[in-house]
Amino acid sequence: MSTPSSAPSSAPARSRRIALGVIATGTLMVVLDGSIVTVAMPAIQSDLGFSPAGLSWVVNAYLIAFGSLLLLAGRIGDLVGRKQMFLAGTALFTAASVLAGAATTPAVLVAARFLQGVGSAMASAVGLGILVTLFTEPRERARAIAVFSFTGAAGASIGQVLGGVLTDALDWHWIFFINLPIGLATLAAGAYALPAVRGIGLAAGADVLGAVLITAGLMLGISTVVTGGERGWTSGVTLGSGALAVALLVAFVFRQATARSPLMPLRIFRSRAVSGANLVQVLMVAALFAFQILLALYLQNVLGYGAGATGLAMLPAAVLIGAVSLGVSTRLNARFGERNVLLVGLVLLVGVLGLLARVPVHADYVTDLLPVMLLAAGFGLALPALTALAMSGAADGDAGLASGLFNTTQQVGMAMGVAVLSTLAASRTEGLLADGMSQAVALTGGYRLAFAVGAGLLAVAFAVALVVLRRPSERPGEPVPAATRTTAA
């Protein structure tokens, strides 16, 4: 049985920088696609004739495919080679983007979005795994993770800006066509620069039953969450599919505990850093992804902003998140430790949703919304620290698995946040309309409730980070040695 070498840290620095650029660009393309659609939804609905319920599947089809296949893609990447998996996923994503841009019917667009999700899962699942084995020196790895985290931290906000500009200047088709040149460039550079490290071989981990259980469980679970608001959370279909999803996931855990070559070795959860960071991420992303979507809806449906104006209104957040994640986070992580930086970032993010929970119907951008955009810089602190913690306990042979797990919890958090918080907002709005409130007042009341619940989720994330991510030897006021900050489990 072949074994993977640890990443070629002896590779020339220039090649490693190009490889980092390839991974970051591919990840940015995927992250952008997750948010670039949101501000173009009204135009897509008008052009293709989507029903209100059907329109949600432009997002849901992507989330279901992406979130349910990440673990499987990450493990297959460990087995057959992460470079091959990354390039295959990028090629599929690029081709599906062209199909989405050319779509003339709702069915074609939804199918293309599902294929985009499959390609995204394949590429994203192994990106972090390549990165952490390519950059093995702690300080160098911290800088690489900061660059990688920038793509996630700023990419969603940049996507909304870019989506608004493209939709207004051209049309919604170009939010997908723009992926073609980026994808082709990523494939060309990746074929040259990514390390060709052999996988450990299919015989080492071809757990077919485990793959079926986890993929079916996640796909059914995410589908249940994203459709629960439409069907009703207490409907027979929702409860039945939810119970079946839980049963499949429990069966998967039992399978991993007994399989000779498990798809997801449970040993990875022995690391408090890995387990705690993934739990924090579910809570944090659930609040913040819903925040981006609901804030865009508030700007358009209550304040009357257009797609382009909505994107530009959120531009300060994107700029600050990018500046902090690239220019500040690495130094702060090295000086104070990832956990402490994460805690500060979460405090700032609680402030973001706390302010929005009081947003007025007739908001002034400078006094009511600009402070929110400035506090969003906390995401640029939180995500690089969280990424380093989540990858800190993974051995070289499990790096693709840890990467897939981290991305899976991110997608599960997104799906849960959008489904639950959007449903809460809609229910509150309907209640206020029934009480005779105006459309603007009712919508604002619904968004406020969702933002308040999101702030609560972030407060719970802070508590988890405070308690779970403390190492057993750590005491309040005792600094964490710099040499162990990105490597200790």
Residue 95: the pLDDT is: 93
Looking at residue 332, its pLDDT comes to 85
Write out pLDDT tens, residues 197-213. 665 555 555 567 777 78
Q: Looking at residue 157, what is its pLDDT?
A: 61
Please give the share of the chain, as a percent, with pLDDT higher than 90: 8
pLDDT at 5 over 60: no
Topology (CATH level 3) of domain 13-206+261-484:
Growth Hormone; Chain: A; (1.20.1250)
Q: Is residue 481's pLDDT more than 70? A: no
> pLDDT tens across 326-361, in order?
778 778 887 888 888 899 999 999 998 988 888 888
Q: Averaged over 164-179, what is the pLDDT?
A: 74
pLDDT score for 346: 93
pLDDT tens figures, 289-300: 777 778 888 888
pLDDT of residue 6: 44
Q: According to the model, what pLDDT value does residue 321 have? A: 80
pLDDT of residue 455: 92
Give the mean pLDDT of the chain.
77
What pLDDT, on a 0 to 100 scale, did the predictor assign at position 7? Answer: 43
- Residue 488's pLDDT is 34
pLDDT tens, 236-265?
A: 888 888 899 889 989 988 887 887 777 677
Q: Which of 223-227, 256-260, 426-430 has the lowest mean pLDDT?
A: 223-227
Q: Can you give the pLDDT at residue 347?
A: 93
Greater model confidence, 97 or 229? 97
Answer yes or no: is pLDDT of 443 > 60: yes
The stretch 70-90 carries a mean pLDDT of: 80
pLDDT(2) > 80: no
pLDDT of residue 476: 39
| pLDDT bucket at 411, cuts 50 / 70 / 90 | confident
**Bigger pLDDT: 108 vs 5:** 108
- pLDDT-derived band of residue 459, with 50, 70 and 90 as boundaries? very high
pTM passes above 0.75: no
pLDDT surpasses 60 at 141: yes
* pLDDT the model gives residue 4: 43
Confidence of residue 479 (pLDDT cuts 50, 70, 90): very low
Structure-model confidence comparison of residues 367 and 28, the more confident one:
367
Percent of the chain with pLDDT over 70: 79
What is the predicted pLDDT for the residue at 297? Answer: 80
How far is Cα 81 from Cα 126, in angstroms, rounded to an integer? 9
Show me where the domains of the chain are located: 13-206+261-484, 207-260
Residue 168, pLDDT score: 65
